[in-house]
Amino acid sequence: MDAMKLNEVVELVTRQGETLQARRLRPADRQALRRFGESLSPTTTGVFLPHHYDDATLEPILRRSEAGDDLTLGVFRGSRIVGYFFLWYLDQAFPLLGIGLHDDYQGAGLGRQMMNLLVAEAARLGRDGIDLTTLPTNDRAFRLYQSVGFRQIGYVENPRAGGGVTVERALRYTLNPAAAAPGHLANGRPVRELADGSAR
């Protein structure tokens, strides 16, 4: 089964009633995605910087999206990207989720809609679950993830796009409770379990 079609559009509506369009990204969206990354405030890039937004980084990401190897989506207001979200490693049992919104659209009710779309796609594709990571200081996002159904399974060391390594919370959304849960993320990073072995 394939991921959502390349030209398929899903409408998302903000709390203020503005209708935006979400669709898969392709190489022609490189400049719009670069402008999105460049327009984020330092506060936002402090919690969402999955990679650099230069051409050398974006080209392979957008080619993988176009090929269906990853599900990489943008939320558009006209031709402007105001949200960026993805399921990377889509061929894995537990693909890796990422979600980011432009500062102007944070708190507008889009994050939950974006996550629900990704969860529905993973379920439709028969995945066993979804993993994500988030900074321990990003309490707002952590509460959203928990409310959608993600549970913290441990911690992971992730490289920062700006250099260095940071310890982040690892969260998992289980779609198939009978599936064996891996002790690592789809990108190979090992998950250090919580001290008490529980999920939060």
pLDDT at position 73 is 97
- Rounded distance between C-alpha atoms, residue 62 and residue 182, angstroms: 27
**Which CATH class name applies to 9-193?**
alpha beta
Condensed to tens digits (0 to 9), the pLDDT of residues 50-66 reads 888 999 999 999 999 99
Strand positions, DSSP E, 103-177: 129-134, 151-159, 165-174
What predicted TM-score, i.e. pTM, was given to this entire model? 0.91
What does the longest C-alpha to C-alpha distance in the chain come to?
48
H or E element: which one contains 98? strand 96-101
Mean pLDDT taken over the chain: 92
Condensed to tens digits (0 to 9), the pLDDT of residues 66-95 reads 999 999 999 999 999 999 999 999 999 999
Note whether 169 and 142 are within 8 A (CB): yes
Q: Lowest mean pLDDT: which of 6-10, 87-91, 142-146, 191-195?
A: 191-195
Residue ranges covered by each domain of the chain: 9-193
